[in-house]
Structure 1
């Protein structure tokens, strides 16, 4: 009888799936996100974000991130690269999701601070024009809407629509963007 039961379980187990509990409080995750700003030149207007998350009750979580943004603006035909290095922190609220927590919609608010580098600190352009805005410290706030889906019990795919408003600069203070990311729950 034990032999028959063992064979039955060995045949049956590969066809059943055991779902782990998701969105557990105090579970940590590491997320990598990349995306583009709403502009006509995506190769020169992008961001890369590395984020650490920690879950709370009811699917909410807080996060801390380090982000690199590159935007290009033009003066006549001269491209002016604007690089921004930001540290951010915020809180994400669970809005709605499926009962088995495979797909979730979250809304987040965040505060940011960092440094903006304009034209690699070169104030003089090739045609002799001078840039009035220098590199400086910047700070801001923003929000985002995130659609998250579990690929496996520990890997989450997220689609983000974001908007930030950055003070301390005259270049593109309002920065809407969209991105895609992968989170690995630890």
Structure 2
């Protein structure tokens, strides 16, 4: 009996290790929903963060497009007071996969996106607590972003995202460039 169980376990182990089957990933037409967030660099406050939501779809050769919305909050110090700068942006972009492993578990992509939105400084309040007046005001912003993104499959339907992004937005009176570091989850729908 022990010999039979040992042979059965050996056969199952050989069958599982010899030719592993992986689910089909990055097929053209597959769509997913992304939830992402992280930290933004560019001012001295540690509480600069962003969050976003996007829909993405895969094309040929494991490339993908993305369309979404993002909220970014950066705080600036003024005489001990935090002055918030909030950006609400819409995004449309395309990512090219340039590196992956043979098991199709890790993908590294480089993407470019067009961004447009609205920026508010101190939530539209121009008067500061000490009586001074802000010269910077609310504005429409536009520009783009360059993103390096790592995707790794946790399961066949859940993907962990890690990204580094450089945003360049014109129309703002406070600066053009913002670097973002973030994580996210993508849920594959079909």
Same fold (TM > 0.5) = yes
Superposition pairs of residues 33-182 of structure 1, within 5 angstroms: 33-38=36-41, 39-42=43-46, 44-182=47-185
CA distance in structure 1 between the partners assigned to 2:22 and 2:132 by the alignment: 62
CA distance in structure 1 between the partners assigned to 2:112 and 2:180 by the alignment: 15
Q: Which runs of 5+ in 2 are unaligned?
A: 1-7
Deviation at 1:136, TM superposition (A): 1.0
CA distance in structure 2 between the partners assigned to 1:74 and 1:41 by the alignment: 7
CA distance in structure 2 between the partners assigned to 1:102 and 1:122 by the alignment: 48
Q: Which of residues 25, 30, 40 is equivalent to 2:28?
A: 25
CA distance in structure 1 between the partners assigned to 2:180 and 2:164 by the alignment: 6
CA distance in structure 2 between the partners assigned to 1:120 and 1:129 by the alignment: 16
SS state at 1:99 partner: coil
RMSD of Structure 2 on Structure 1 (CA)? 1.8
Deviation at 1:135, TM superposition (A): 0.6
Task: Give TM-score scaled by structure 1 length.
Answer: 0.88
For these two proteins, the number of residue pairs brought into alignment is 175
SS state at 1:131 partner: coil
Q: Which runs of 5+ in 1 are unaligned?
A: 1-7
Deviation at 1:75, TM superposition (A): 2.0
Deviation at 1:116, TM superposition (A): 0.5
Task: Give TM-score scaled by structure 2 length.
Answer: 0.87
